[in-house]
A and B are shown apart, each in its own frame.
Chain A
Amino acid sequence: MDLSIVILVEMLYAVASLVLISAGLAVVFGMMKVINLAHGEFMMMGGYATITAVNLGANVFVAMLVVAPITVGLIGLVVERLVIRHLYGRLVDTMLATWGLSLFFIGVATMIFGNTTTGISTPIPGFSVGDYQINGYNFFIILVAIALVVGMLVILKSTRAGLIARGTMQRSDIAAALGYSPDRIYMATFFCGSALSGLAGAVLAPLVGLVPTSGGAYIAKAFITVIAGGPSLVAGLLSSAGLFGLVNQIFTFAISPVIGDVALLVAAVVLLRLLPQGVTGKFFKGKL
Chain B
Amino acid sequence: MSLDRRAFLGRTATMTGAAMLPSFASAADTIKLGSILDTSGIFDAYGKPMDMAMRLAVDEINASGGLLSKQVEVSGYDTQSDMALYSQYAQQLTRQDRVDVVHGGILSASREAIRQTMRKTKTLYFYNVLYEGGVCDRNIFINGVTPAQQVEALVPYAMKKAGKKVYILAADYNYGQITARWIQKFVADNGGETVGLDFFPLDVSDFGSTIAKIQTAAPDLVIAPLVGGAHLSFFRQWAAAGMKDRIPLASTTLGVGNEQLVLTPEEGNGIMVAYNYSQQLDTPANAAFKASWLAAFGDNSNIHETAVSTYQGVMTWAKAVEMAGSLDRDSIIDALETGISIEGPGGKVTVDPKTHHAVLDVHLMEFEDQRMKVIETLPQRQPIDTQSVCDLATSPNDNTQYEIQI
Judge if B229 is at the interface, Cβ distance under 8 Å: yes
Judge whether B267 and A138 touch: CB under 8 Å.
no
What are the residues of chain B within 8 A of A238 when measuring CB–CB? none
Judge if A41 is at the interface, Cβ distance under 8 Å: no
List the one stretch of B51-59, B237-245, B374-382 in contact with chain A.
B237-245
Shortest C-beta distance, A255 to chain B (Å), equals 10
**In the complex, A54 Cα to B230 Cα: how many Å?**
21
**In the complex, A210 Cα to B232 Cα: how many Å?**
9
Judge if A195 is at the interface, Cβ distance under 8 Å: no
Chain A's interface size range is 35 or more
Judge if B23 is at the interface, Cβ distance under 8 Å: no
List which B200-218 residues lie within 8 A (CB) of chain A: 200-201, 203-213, 215-216
What are the residues of chain B within 8 A of A181 when measuring CB–CB? none
Given contact pairs A133-B242, A135-B241, A208-B230, A121 touches B236 in the complex (Cβ within 8 A): yes
Interface centre among B198, B204, B210, B240 (most CB of A within 10 A): B240
Judge if A174 is at the interface, Cβ distance under 8 Å: no
Judge whether A125 and B242 touch: CB under 8 Å.
yes
List the one stretch of B37-45, B176-184, B339-347 in contact with chain A.
B37-45
Can you name the residue of chain B whose Cβ is closest to the Cβ of A126? B242
Judge if B264 is at the interface, Cβ distance under 8 Å: yes
Judge if B322 is at the interface, Cβ distance under 8 Å: no
Given contact pairs A115-B45, A126-B241, A214-B229, A209 touches B205 in the complex (Cβ within 8 A): yes
Shortest C-beta distance, A13 to chain B (Å), equals 6
List which B135-167 residues lie within 8 A (CB) of chain A: none
Judge if B292 is at the interface, Cβ distance under 8 Å: no
Can you name the residue of chain B whose Cβ is closest to the Cβ of A212? B42
How many pairs of residues, A versus B, come closer than 8 Å at their CB atoms? 128
**In the complex, A252 Cα to B215 Cα: how many Å?**
15
Among A7, A121, A128, A253, the residue within 8 A (CB) of B266 is A121
Shortest C-beta distance, A111 to chain B (Å), equals 11
Q: How many residues of B contact A (CB 8 A)?
A: 43
Shortest C-beta distance, B199 to chain A (Å), equals 7
Judge if B246 is at the interface, Cβ distance under 8 Å: yes
**In the complex, A122 Cα to B241 Cα: how many Å?**
9
What are the residues of chain A within 8 A of B42 when measuring CB–CB? 115, 211, 213
Can you name the residue of chain B whose Cβ is closest to the Cβ of A115? B44
Judge if A270 is at the interface, Cβ distance under 8 Å: no
Judge whether B216 and A122 touch: CB under 8 Å.
no
What are the residues of chain B within 8 A of A208 when measuring CB–CB? 205, 230, 232-233, 236
Judge whether B210 and A117 touch: CB under 8 Å.
no
Judge whether B208 and A10 touch: CB under 8 Å.
yes
Judge whether B262 and A121 touch: CB under 8 Å.
no
Judge if B220 is at the interface, Cβ distance under 8 Å: no
Among B213, B237, B242, the residue within 8 A (CB) of A253 is B213
Judge whether A257 and B200 touch: CB under 8 Å.
yes
Contact with A along B251-262 (1 / 0, CB 8 A): 000000101001
Judge if B172 is at the interface, Cβ distance under 8 Å: yes
List which A133-147 residues lie within 8 A (CB) of chain B: 133-138
Can you name the residue of chain B whose Cβ is closest to the Cβ of A249? B209
Shortest C-beta distance, B230 to chain A (Å), equals 7
Contact with A along B362-389 (1 / 0, CB 8 A): 0000000000000000000000000000
Can you name the residue of chain B whose Cβ is closest to the Cβ of A252? B209
Judge if A256 is at the interface, Cβ distance under 8 Å: yes
Among A3, A6, A10, A117, the residue within 8 A (CB) of B262 is A117
What are the residues of chain B within 8 A of A17 when measuring CB–CB? 206
List which A201-257 residues lie within 8 A (CB) of chain B: 206-211, 213-214, 216-217, 249, 252-253, 256-257
Judge whether B209 and A118 touch: CB under 8 Å.
no
Judge whether B232 and A119 touch: CB under 8 Å.
yes
Judge whether B242 and A117 touch: CB under 8 Å.
no
What are the residues of chain A within 8 A of B213 when measuring CB–CB? 253
Among A14, A118, A133, A258, the residue within 8 A (CB) of B172 is A258
List which B293-315 residues lie within 8 A (CB) of chain A: none
Judge whether B262 and A118 touch: CB under 8 Å.
yes
Shortest C-beta distance, A190 to chain B (Å), equals 27
Shortest C-beta distance, B69 to chain A (Å), equals 40
Judge whether B241 and A209 touch: CB under 8 Å.
no
Judge whether B240 and A257 touch: CB under 8 Å.
no
**In the complex, A253 Cα to B246 Cα: how many Å?**
22
Judge whether A121 and B239 touch: CB under 8 Å.
yes
Shortest C-beta distance, A245 to chain B (Å), equals 11
What are the residues of chain A within 8 A of B242 when measuring CB–CB? 125-128, 133, 135-136
What are the residues of chain A within 8 A of B200 when measuring CB–CB? 257-258
What are the residues of chain B within 8 A of A6 when measuring CB–CB? 212, 215
List which A1-17 residues lie within 8 A (CB) of chain B: 3, 6-7, 10, 13-14, 17
**In the complex, A49 Cα to B40 Cα: how many Å?**
23
Shortest C-beta distance, A36 to chain B (Å), equals 20
Judge whether A133 and B215 touch: CB under 8 Å.
yes
What are the residues of chain A within 8 A of B41 when measuring CB–CB? 115
What are the residues of chain A within 8 A of B243 when measuring CB–CB? 126, 133
**In the complex, A119 Cα to B207 Cα: how many Å?**
16
Judge whether A209 and B232 touch: CB under 8 Å.
yes
What are the residues of chain B within 8 A of A135 when measuring CB–CB? 208, 211, 237, 240-242
**In the complex, A134 Cα to B213 Cα: how many Å?**
11
Among B205, B231, B259, B267, the residue within 8 A (CB) of A121 is B267
Judge whether A207 and B232 touch: CB under 8 Å.
no
Sample of 9 further A-B pairs with CB below 8 A, known A135-B208, A208-B232: A115-B45, A117-B262, A118-B262, A125-B242, A126-B241, A132-B215, A207-B240, A208-B205, A257-B210
What are 22 contact pairs spanning A and B, CB under 8 A? A6-B215, A14-B206, A121-B239, A122-B239, A122-B240, A125-B240, A126-B240, A126-B243, A131-B215, A133-B211, A133-B246, A135-B208, A135-B240, A135-B242, A207-B206, A209-B231, A216-B203, A217-B203, A217-B230, A253-B213, A257-B204, A257-B207
Binding site for B on A (CB under 8 A): 3, 6-7, 10, 13-14, 17, 115-122, 124-128, 131-138, 206-211, 213-214, 216-217, 249, 252-253, 256-258, 260-261
